[in-house]
Amino acid sequence: MAYTHEQYQALKEAIAGGELAVRYADRSVTYRSVAEMLQILRLMESELGINADANRGRRLTSFSKGY
CA R_g for the chain: 16
* Residue 58 located in a structural domain: no
Residue 32 domain boundaries:
5-53
* Residue 9 located in a structural domain: yes
Question: Based on the structure, what is the number of domains in the chain?
Answer: 1
Q: List, for residues 30-49, the tens digit of each pLDDT value.
A: 999 999 999 999 999 999 99
In SS3 terms, 16-57 reads as HCCCCEEEECCEEEECCCHHHHHHHHHHHHHHHCCCHHHCCC
* Residue 38 located in a structural domain: yes
* Residue 24 located in a structural domain: yes
For the whole model, what pTM was predicted? 0.72
**Whole-angstrom distance, CA of residue 48 vs CA of residue 5:** 7
| pLDDT reading at 7 higher than 70 | yes
* Residue 14 located in a structural domain: yes
